[in-house]
Amino acid sequence: MAEKHFIVIGNGPAGKEAAFTLRERDPESRITVISKGRASSYTPHLLPDLVAGKIQEEDLYGCSLNSYAENDIKLRCCQEVVDLNLLKNEVVLEHKEVLSFDGLIIAVGGTPRIPENLLAYKDLMYTLKTLEDAKIWVKKLQQSESVLIIGGDLTSLVLTKALIHLNKKVSFILNEDAFWPLRYDDDLFKEAAQRLTDKGIKVLYDRNIKKIEQLQDGTNKVQVDDQVLQVGMVGAFFGLVPDIGFLAHSGLRIDRGILVDKHLNVGVENIYAAGDCAQIYHPDIKDYWISIGYENARMLGRTAALNLNCGCREEEVKPESIFEVQGININTTWWTEF
């Protein structure tokens, strides 16, 4: 019988864990990991430390490129999956190559969310999701003494720590999306604003960006209501949304993320989703939850691989660890102190 071919889309914590678990359980199968990222799997939550200059790029990597080869896992970096054909069990890559599979795990994670009203200024605002983003921050910060952060999700708080470490002047526009995915309430909002202020950060409450314009010297003129700020860099931090646009016409059930059952199956034999892109059914709360955080992603990647390999393992998440934020049920392993 021909060997089975398993494909994992994504080489973040969920995808990497899925691929190595598949290999652990099935020494014979062909395993391909496809990632639009350039590098081996790294630890995303160390990116702010790279920006702060506290660590070097090599400190980010949990495993080397060699370890994929040693485990007979084919890693295809810089390759983006742009379509999924459920009838033929095929994925289509951006350069038109078509790969067929016997089993598929989708672990494509999230991508930074930019609110509609700011999309026009997308190119002038920086986010921090990938290693490439971190390198851009490092480079741009060499010429920028001041940074304006808009939004205020968890990533922005860790990045702000890095900026303080670098003695940058930070202004912060906190709005009602602040601290997503943490539960928004007035007291938390005030406390966060106070903590930022105590650290020497200028906090602007409930203010709206009217315009961002790049000046000839490379700095940015930002009109915030009737006030004008001039800053070196603008960062946009409104949380992450699942990076699943390429599945829009696939026939998979999609809501906020890819809808999966308690075994992480998408409703099609041998296809699973794991990590930040999955939205998982919980039989006790009779609703779907999404996962955020490094440890969750790894755990889900492992579960998906075990199930694809023949198991029927369920995600054991206690209903009380799932909380609702703006209509979305969330379970996160990501807590941060600022």
Ligand X SMILES: Cc1cc2nc3c(=O)[nH]c(=O)nc-3n(C[C@H](O)[C@H](O)[C@H](O)COP(=O)(O)OP(=O)(O)OC[C@H]3O[C@@H](n4cnc5c(N)ncnc54)[C@H](O)[C@@H]3O)c2cc1C
Which residues would be at the binding site for ligand X (CB under 6 A)?
9-15, 34-37, 44-45, 47-48, 80-81, 107-110, 128-129, 155, 158, 243, 246, 275-276, 292-295, 297, 333-334, 336
Closest contact distance (angstroms) between CB of 1 and ligand X is 29
CA–CA dist 265, 256 (Å, integer): 16
Closest contact distance (angstroms) between CB of 74 and ligand X is 14
What are phi and psi for residue 15, nearest 5 degrees? -65, -45
Residue 195 or 207 with smaller CB distance to ligand X:
195
What are phi and psi for residue 305, nearest 5 degrees? -65, -40
Closest contact distance (angstroms) between CB of 95 and ligand X is 12
Residue 79 or 220 with smaller CB distance to ligand X:
79
Of 59, 99, 91, 76, the residue nearest 15 (C-alpha): 76
Residue 144 or 331 with smaller CB distance to ligand X:
331
Peptide bond connecting 319 to the previous residue in cis, omega within 30 degrees of 0: no
Which run of H or E residues covers position 223? strand 220-224
Q: Which amino acid is at 82?
A: V
Radius of gyration of the chain from Cα atoms?
21
Residue 47 or 322 with smaller CB distance to ligand X:
47
Closest contact distance (angstroms) between CB of 93 and ligand X is 8
Residue 41 or 220 with smaller CB distance to ligand X:
41
* Cβ neighbourhood burial of 86 (10 Å; 0-12, 13-18, 19+): middle
CB 212 within 8 A of CB 121: yes
Closest contact distance (angstroms) between CB of 331 and ligand X is 11
